Amino acid sequence: MEPISKPLRVTSWVLQIVIAVILGQTLFFKFTGAPETKALFEVLGAEPIGRYATACAELLAVVLLLIPRTSVIGAVVSLGVISGAILSHLTKLGVSIDPQKLGNPNLEPLAGPSLFVMAVIVLVGSICVLFIRRTQLPLIGPRLA
> What is the tens place of the pLDDT at every residue in 69-101?
999 999 999 999 999 999 999 998 888 877 666
Residue % of the chain over a pLDDT of 70:
86
Q: Which of 75, 85, 95, 94 is nearest to 55 (CA)?
A: 85
Predicted local distance difference test score (pLDDT) of residue 1:
56
Its pTM surpasses 0.85: yes
- Would you kindly state where each structural domain of the chain is located, as residue ranges? 6-144
Whether omega for the bond prior to residue 48 falls within 30 degrees of 0, making it cis, is: yes
Predicted local distance difference test score (pLDDT) of residue 110:
60
Instruction: Answer yes or no: is pLDDT of 125 > 90.
Output: yes
Instruction: Answer yes or no: is pLDDT of 37 > 90.
Output: no
Residue 10 vs residue 112, higher pLDDT: 10
